[in-house]
Structure 1
């Protein structure tokens, strides 16, 4: 049984937006799970095989990208790019949630074909975990003709996500609502396209449409790229308790409005972050980190809470065993620091200054995947491993 210890942590972030900073400085990982969180004295209870001295840097749960459009493997035909997912891992993302494999060339749009694609992608990404990519792919895109038995069949095969409602032929709330109810009956989580059209075949979705359908997540409320109108934003915030997602590829002015309105209501637990990539905007490997920096620096939200939006909030929304520094959770962790040359003294100060932290190490399921980010600036301090 492998045991990894992280010691000398300067600031330990929990991922819990209600209690974002831990008083402890040591984590013990055993067989890919967080076994114990405490101070240095906890090490005597374990036979530690490898120790990472964090040198006073910040440790947080791995970030979760709540909105990617995968196809199969680490390649996107949308932007003809290889290794874009691993590029995001170098930005601290340890979990990806597909919003639908809509960029699949020749994507089937009949009931049998849309089911087959979802099952194939789900099982394919499950088999890809050994590379360090934790991708929840295989997402059903709703097409006309699907019946309840189809949802039961897919749930049996492990499919548990429904892609953005509106990407397929099912666009009207009266058509989507019964399918969403079937999906929820079989334990599935549902995302719903919101705002203006993003790609040919998608449709404009209003607040009333969302309220009628009741998805799990209101996708890219700040636009993908065309945003929901401000009055529609306020309606969704004030009349529902739905989870709202802002994305890197969206409208920054509306993103700020969403953050401010949720903050006024004391409801920042409803906010999650996605990249919405690959898209027409392109591929931004540090998209989640950039959104975190934007919210911390331009919206005045403490960086520790912003980290929780990118970790624990998303994990709780989707029922994932990650995103929180708690015993029994998957050991998906990021070590980060102020980047060299920053005015800040640590990673959280960097985010609040509008900088991107230097990602020093990324751990997925207890395995060290990144030893030095290829995309962020280098960290000010250096960890040691023994």
Structure 2
């Protein structure tokens, strides 16, 4: 049975189910029963919102999932609420309301207006602890480098979120929602760090000021597992201050 499959996945160590609506099961009621079952086991369930972003069959065969569908399924996360075939304003408001899922995601591969509406509604409700930041690339949109960086810049410079909070949403809050380690600066935590500064030539003094102004910072160093992987990004402008490595990492 379907619940047996969920049990087997959980016993094998899987903790994330997604993306509800993309697979063969399209019935929101049955999907909701399985979603609740999985969440009660301790799994994170995220669900597709709006229209699919692939080329698909088109017409009536091309699925669309409304806010009512999401509320019926009861996932942990409403994925890409600003998908290009965007949810209606009323649907966005419903998902961001008190009956909506624990987390609501905005992505780079989506509409800017609907993204800002999600941010606005969550700010009004003092519920930014429900906001997640993703990319949803490359499906239907191509590969977008720096997708998280661009989306953080959008929600801060256009949505009025403080840059430090924007980074926290896109890092630690994402990890908390999906139940994974990392994305926090903490003793004993993963040694995954990103060092940035304003871009060379910027009029701003700090990366936070640059992001608030709609600029992109320059990435100086990327470290994972305590090892320096990138010393000077090729995808951003050069950081004003170049990192100096004084000893082997």
Please identify runs of 4+ aligned residues in structure 1 that moved more than 3 A. none
- The answer to whether the aligner puts 1:184 opposite 2:39 as a matched pair is yes
Q: TM-score, normalised by structure 2?
A: 0.91
Q: How does 1:195-344 map to 2 (within 5 A)?
A: 195-199=50-54, 200=56, 203-223=63-83, 225-238=84-97, 239-344=99-204
**Aligned partners of 1:147 and 1:369: how far apart in 2?**
42
**Aligned partners of 2:179 and 2:231: how far apart in 1?**
29
How many residues align structurally? 240
What SS is found at the alignment partner of 2:6?
helix
Whether contact under 8 Å (1:151, 1:186) holds in the other structure is no
**Aligned partners of 1:172 and 1:251: how far apart in 2?**
26
Deviations 1:52-107 (A, max 9, x none): xxxxxxxxxxxxxxxxxxxxxxxxxxxxxxxxxxxxxxxxxxxxxxxxxxxxxxxx
**Aligned partners of 2:129 and 2:227: how far apart in 1?**
29
Give the drift of 1:228.
Answer: 0.9
**Aligned partners of 1:292 and 1:216: how far apart in 2?**
22
Q: TM-score, normalised by structure 1?
A: 0.60
| Equivalent of residue 13 in structure 2, options 131, 147, 158 | 158
Give the number of the structure whose residues are more often helix, by fraction. Answer: 2
Q: Which runs of no fewer than 5 residues in structure 2 stay unpaired? A: none
**Aligned partners of 2:68 and 2:33: how far apart in 1?**
16
Give the drift of 1:178.
Answer: 2.1
**Aligned partners of 2:140 and 2:178: how far apart in 1?**
26
Deviations 1:223-253 (A, max 9, x none): 1x21111111111112335201001010100
**Aligned partners of 2:37 and 2:234: how far apart in 1?**
43
Deviations 1:289-327 (A, max 9, x none): 111111111111111111111011111111222122122
Q: Which runs of no fewer than 5 residues in structure 1 stay unpaired? A: 1-145
**Aligned partners of 2:72 and 2:168: how far apart in 1?**
29
**Aligned partners of 1:251 and 1:212: how far apart in 2?**
24
Whether contact under 8 Å (1:162, 1:189) holds in the other structure is yes
Give the number of the structure whose residues are more often strand, by fraction. Answer: 1
**Aligned equivalent of 1:349:** 209
